[in-house]
A and B are shown apart, each in its own frame.
Chain A
């Protein structure tokens, strides 16, 4: 039941074309229908698909494809290039503030992977950036959210600041900042509770934390399996708290991950990391080109090459 990739999808159209020599505008149009199918099946938001197909279609009709001897490959190439471009340049490192500590805030829907990604980020901060992070347990709602973060902290031997659940998250963050100052932590990593983007009370709470802590980075953590709704989620979180980047989780699954394109398009914020597993070392930098191939169903060839 795995979905066909774009290349397979284009086969049918291409067979009709071979032998005809040149291809017509109508042929391009038919190919664009396949592009649209492939992207929607990959969970790219419909509105994003529309704009995208329009751009690609213009490029295809204007020369590139129509004169080519291998129109199918040309279309795939244009689609992939455009996708890669949209997804942003390579490598977007974590930004650190000039004044210590750098505050990083994790936000997102329930179950997206904020707490797990907080642990993973702490690992990256320590190992690759030589930092001394403090994890802050600011989720007072989910049962055992604090224990979850504390368990991860213990595994990683990264200290976790918590004050239980009978206190407001804003107050927890305030005291955490004091502690960080006193104990010379150069990064403060705040794990917030999952919340719906339409939950006004809880979105206000995030704004309050943001105002108090003036984070350098606000990471929206998004499940790579997200469907059409990804745009609403990203837009609302961005409007409310002003995200600075995205962490795309659970990319070790077999989803195409079209949400990546949707989010990138509506927020114009870079996807900085991808989650590739449940373990604490499974956080990798984002590669636009690989993501483009994946959305199009061309296999994660690059990753495979690198792993070999």
Chain B
């Protein structure tokens, strides 16, 4: 249902109920957006801009308001500058992708899906089992490695994640793989020591490979509310996040906070996760996403 290229019932309902654009119409629109976790500031900004546009175009009734809403939402998302949602994959040599995020958001699963995707594009891929902390984390990544048909570099549970990265980079260079994807343990952004550890992992990677990590992907769970903004900000400070993977968008949550994240922190969403299977990862399409905000 996320792929329908028009507003689904919620906005259409609204338009059907309100023939004329009035204050109450805007109030109900505001509520729809708040319920999609878009957050107050962004919603207010949107409503203000919509009101201006409606005035400028001298629109009286709600016919045709849908496209104006979606345009404005995309405009807010893009904040005046288009950003590429393609992955920064090096033409020659090793590309390193670092996956980060809070606990349970879908980092490891996304790595599995991403491996399959890159393999399908003809790349060779290797994985680094950098979550040496959580019970069963290494085994989980190994299963994904088997599914996607890629090698997983691992050490035992409890070992230093920076050392795992070091090993993995060595192995990736030796075997001339195109892309090394590094898993990390989930950590809440307010855990100072764990964020320091992540900075260290990031540093090892930068020291070992010129220009690496080429991508730092932050996994965000679409079910998360306003805290996602703090997550993005803190992880950006620690690891210079280059893109977001918005996971679990196959549920009923919309993850509307990514609009604010992109607008304020300039971090684009690169992929969306739409399930637990290997193929459930799609490139992010702002327009489609914005339509989906109003889906049931």
Given the interface pairs A43-B225, A143-B140, the reply to whether A228 lies near B36 with Cβ below 8 Å is yes
Are A144 and B252 touching (Cβ within 8 A)? no
Given the interface pairs A46-B31, A198-B251, A228-B253, the reply to whether A250 lies near B134 with Cβ below 8 Å is no
Are A144 and B230 touching (Cβ within 8 A)? no
Question: Please, what's the 1-or-0 string for A1-40, where 1 marks a CB less than 8 Å from any CB in chain B?
Answer: 1110000000000000000000000000000000001001
Are A223 and B223 touching (Cβ within 8 A)? yes
Per the 8 Å Cβ criterion, residues 25-80 of B in contact with A are 31, 34-37, 39-40
Chain B contacts for A40, CB-based, 8 A: 34, 40
Which of B102, B230, B276 has a CB less than 8 Å from the CB of A2? Answer: B230
Are B135 and A143 touching (Cβ within 8 A)? no
Are B143 and A197 touching (Cβ within 8 A)? no
Chain B contacts for A147, CB-based, 8 A: 135-136, 139-140
Given the interface pairs A143-B143, A151-B135, A278-B103, the reply to whether A196 lies near B227 with Cβ below 8 Å is no
A142 to B104, CA, bound (A): 12
Residue of A whose beta carbon sits closest to that of B32: A46
Question: Please, what's the 1-or-0 string for A216-248, where 1 marks a CB less than 8 Å from any CB in chain B?
Answer: 000000010111110011000000000000000
Question: Please, what's the 1-or-0 string for A146-159, where 1 marks a CB less than 8 Å from any CB in chain B?
Answer: 01111110010000
Q: Is B221 an interface residue (CB 8 A)?
A: yes
Chain B contacts for A250, CB-based, 8 A: 102-104, 188
Given the interface pairs A253-B227, A254-B189, the reply to whether A197 lies near B140 with Cβ below 8 Å is no
Chain A contacts for B188, CB-based, 8 A: 250, 252-254
Whole-angstrom distance between the Cβ of A248 and the nearest chain B Cβ: 14
Are B34 and A148 touching (Cβ within 8 A)? no
Question: Please, what's the 1-or-0 string for B113-157, where 1 marks a CB less than 8 Å from any CB in chain A?
Answer: 000000000000000000001111101101110010000000001
Are A111 and B39 touching (Cβ within 8 A)? no
Whole-angstrom distance between the Cβ of B149 and the nearest chain A Cβ: 15
Are A259 and B190 touching (Cβ within 8 A)? no
Q: Is B269 an interface residue (CB 8 A)?
A: no
Given the interface pairs A1-B233, A143-B140, the reply to whether A255 lies near B253 with Cβ below 8 Å is no
B interface majority secondary structure:
loop
Per the 8 Å Cβ criterion, residues 172-227 of A in contact with B are 196-198, 223, 225-227
Whole-angstrom distance between the Cβ of A51 and the nearest chain B Cβ: 14
A198 to B223, CA, bound (A): 14
Chain A contacts for B189, CB-based, 8 A: 253-254
Whole-angstrom distance between the Cβ of B52 and the nearest chain A Cβ: 23
Number of interface residues of B (CB under 8 A): 47
Chain B contacts for A110, CB-based, 8 A: 104, 106, 248, 276
Are A1 and B39 touching (Cβ within 8 A)? no
Whole-angstrom distance between the Cβ of A146 and the nearest chain B Cβ: 8
Q: Is A109 an interface residue (CB 8 A)?
A: yes
Are A258 and B225 touching (Cβ within 8 A)? yes
A233 to B223, CA, bound (A): 10
Are A112 and B104 touching (Cβ within 8 A)? yes
Which of A141, A151, A196, A254 has a CB less than 8 Å from the CB of B136? Answer: A151
Which of A2, A198, A258 has a CB less than 8 Å from the CB of B252? Answer: A198
Q: Is B229 an interface residue (CB 8 A)?
A: yes
Chain A contacts for B139, CB-based, 8 A: 143-144, 147-148
Q: Is A270 an interface residue (CB 8 A)?
A: no
Are B102 and A253 touching (Cβ within 8 A)? yes
Are B221 and A259 touching (Cβ within 8 A)? no
Q: Is A145 an interface residue (CB 8 A)?
A: yes
Which of B35, B103, B144, B147 has a CB less than 8 Å from the CB of A111? Answer: B103
Chain B contacts for A225, CB-based, 8 A: 102, 221, 223-225, 227-228
Whole-angstrom distance between the Cβ of A294 and the nearest chain B Cβ: 12
Given the interface pairs A152-B135, A228-B225, A255-B227, the reply to whether A142 lies near B276 with Cβ below 8 Å is yes
A252 to B143, CA, bound (A): 30
Residue of B35, B103, B135, B251 with highest tally of chain A CB at under 10 A? B135
Chain B contacts for A109, CB-based, 8 A: 223, 248, 251
Given the interface pairs A145-B136, A225-B227, the reply to whether A46 lies near B248 with Cβ below 8 Å is no
Given the interface pairs A46-B31, A144-B139, A196-B251, the reply to whether A1 lies near B103 with Cβ below 8 Å is no
A152 to B103, CA, bound (A): 17
Closest 8 CB pairs of A and B: A227-B225, A148-B136, A111-B104, A43-B225, A143-B143, A151-B135, A229-B253, A144-B139
Q: List 10 A-B contacts (CB under 8 A).
A: A40-B40, A45-B35, A111-B105, A115-B135, A143-B140, A148-B136, A196-B252, A225-B227, A229-B223, A254-B188
